[in-house]
Amino acid sequence: MAAPPTLPGGFLSHIGAMRKDFLGWLTDATRIHGDVVGLPLGPGRPTILLAHPDAIEELLVRNSGSYEKSGQTRYMVGKFLGNGLVLSEGAEHAKNRRLVQTAFHPSKLEGYTAAMVVETARLADGLAPGTTVDIDAAMTDLALRIVARTLFGVDASATTARVGEAMRALEGVIQARFLSLPLPSWVPTPANWREARAVDAMKGIVTELLARPAGDDLLSRLAAARDDDGAALPAQQIIDEAITLFFAGHETTAHLLGWTLMLLAQHPAVEDEVRAELDGPAFPALDRVLHETMRLYPPSWVFDRSSTEPVTVGGFSFPKGQKFYLSAWVTHRDARWFPDPERFDPERWRTPPAIPKYAYFPFGGGPRVCIGRSFAMLEARQILVTLLRARRFTLASDAPVVPEASATLRPKGGLKMNVHGLSP
C-alpha cells in the first residue's frame, strides 16, 4: 500500500504559516492533498490528519482499542491533568469513567438546572445596559462558577476566583507550548514555572474541599468510592479528576456561548426566531442554532491519538506509534457533508441531515466521547434562555471576529459586545 501524501517541506518551512493561521493551513492541507494527509507538525514522522468521517469513526469507535492519547497531548497537558479522565487509558480509564459518570446521570443533571439559572440571572443583573463587555470572558467566569457549584458544591466566590486564576495560567501554558519545540519540564521556562504554581494552587484548593463534611457532590462521591477490593481512590487521583473536570468543563462551553451570541448578533432574523420561543416550554430553534454554532466553531477543534499497534485506517497502513489528528474544524467545513459550508444556516438541522455519522463530531465519539456533553447542552440552553430574556447584545465593532486555535477555539482578543435592555 502506498504511503499517503505528505505536505512537502519540513516543520521549519511551515512554522510561519502555521503560527499565522493554523486553521487555514490545516484546511488547505486536506483540500489540496485529500482526506488522509501527513503534516510536518514537528521534527520526526509526520502526523496524519484524518478528514473523512469513515476514518474518524474507525479510529474513535470501531477500532478505538488500537489507539491512545498521543505523547504530544501528554507533553502539553500531562503535568496538570495527571491521570485524570482525559489522559488515563484502558481498564483504569473505564473504571474511573464509571465513577465520574455518576455526576452526569440524567437525574443529577435535572438538579443542576436551578444553579445554572441563578448564576446566569446574577450575571445578567450585573450587565448594565449601555455598557460594553467582553462576553467571552464573562461566559468563561460563568461556566466556571457553574461547574464549581454543581459538580463540586463550591459556593464561595473566593474559591472559584482562585480556580479561575489557576485555569487561566494553565491555558497560557498550552498556548506557550503549542507549535514550539518540546522542552523537558525541569527546564525553568516561564510556562513550566506558571504550570507548577497553578498545579500547587489546585492541589491546595481540592485538599481544602475534601476536608469539608461529605456532601452530595462529585468530590465526596469520589472520596467515598471503593473498588472491588475495598480500596479507596488515591488522593492524587481525586485531585487529577478534579483538575480535569474544571479544565475540560468550562472553557469549551464558554466559547460555544460566545460564538453563539456573536452569530445571533450577526443574524437578526435567526435571533428573532430564537426570541420568539423564549417563553415556551421547549427551544427547538435555539437547539438548531447551538448545533450549527458547534459545526462552524467547534470548541474542541482538534484532538489526537497515537496507534498502539500497526493499524489500517483511511485506506493506508501505519506502524505502531503513528500520531493522528482529527479536526472538527476541517471536517465540519467540508462541502461534501455541508453544502455552502461557510454559511451559518441553522435550518440544516431542522431534519437530521443525511450525512455520515462522523461528519459532525463536536463531542468526539466512542469510549472517550465527551462525558459532559449532556451537561454542556443543558447548560448552554439554560444560560442563553436566561440571558436573552434579560438582555440584548450587539457586536461592539464591525471588524471580523477571528477564531484563535488554542486549547479550545476562542475569539482572538475576546468578544466585545454592547449590552442593551429589552425595550427598544
Q: Which residues bind ligand HEM (CB under 6 A)?
A: 85-86, 97, 147, 244-245, 248-249, 252-253, 256, 299-300, 303, 362-364, 368, 370-372, 375-376
Q: Residue 247's closest CA among 186, 313, 172?
A: 172
**Are residues 161 and 146 in contact, defined by beta-carbon separation less than 8 angstroms?**
no
How many CB atoms neighbour CB 48 within 10 A? 23
Instruction: Return d(Cα 390, Cα 189) in angstroms, integer.
Output: 45
Q: How far is the CB of 162 from ligand HEM (least distance, A)?
A: 19
All residues at 6 or more sequence positions from 74 whose CB lies less than 8 Å from its CB, including other chains: 87
Q: Identify the burial level of 385 via C-beta atoms within 10 angstroms of its C-beta, where 0-12 means exposed, 13-18 middle and 19 or more buried.
A: buried
Instruction: Return d(Cα 305, Cα 220) in angstroms, integer.
Output: 32
In the DSSP assignment, the letter for residue 281 is S
Shorter beta-carbon distance to ligand HEM: residue 145 or 392: 145
Shorter beta-carbon distance to ligand HEM: residue 60 or 198: 60
User: Could you write out the DSSP letters of every residue in 6-50?
Assistant: B-SS-HHHHHHHHHH-HHHHHHHHHHHH-SEEEE--SSSSPEEEE
Q: Identify the burial level of 365 via C-beta atoms within 10 angstroms of its C-beta, where 0-12 means exposed, 13-18 middle and 19 or more buried.
A: middle
272: its cell numbers: 428573532
Q: How far is the CB of 363 from ligand HEM (least distance, A)?
A: 5
Q: How far is the CB of 369 from ligand HEM (least distance, A)?
A: 6
Q: How far is the CB of 237 from ligand HEM (least distance, A)?
A: 14
Shorter beta-carbon distance to ligand HEM: residue 74 or 97: 97
Amino acid identity for residue 196 in this structure? A
Q: How far is the CB of 13 from ligand HEM (least distance, A)?
A: 29
Shorter beta-carbon distance to ligand HEM: residue 147 or 274: 147
Amino acid identity for residue 130 in this structure? G
User: Could you write out the DSSP letters of every residue in 104-136?
Assistant: G-HHHHHHHHHHHHHHHHHHHHHS-TT-EEEHH
Shorter beta-carbon distance to ligand HEM: residue 7 or 358: 358
Q: How far is the CB of 157 from ligand HEM (least distance, A)?
A: 19
User: Could you write out the DSSP letters of every residue in 312-375?
Assistant: EETTEEE-TT-EEEE-HHHHHT-TTTSSSTTS--GGGGSS---S-GGG--TT--GGGS-TTHHH
Distances (CA, A) of 214 to 146, 211, 217: 20, 8, 8
Shorter beta-carbon distance to ligand HEM: residue 108 or 194: 108
3-state SS class at 191: helix
3-state SS class at 249: coil
Shorter beta-carbon distance to ligand HEM: residue 89 or 165: 89
Q: Cell numbers 467545513 correspond to what residue?
A: 333
Q: How far is the CB of 86 from ligand HEM (least distance, A)?
A: 4
SS3 readout for 199-238: HHHHHHHHHHHHCCCCCCCHHHHHHHCECCCCCECCHHHH
Instruction: Return d(Cα 289, Cα 252) in angstroms, integer.
Output: 16
Q: Which residue is nearest to ligand HEM (CB)?
A: 372
Shorter beta-carbon distance to ligand HEM: residue 259 or 393: 259
Q: How far is the CB of 58 from ligand HEM (least distance, A)?
A: 14
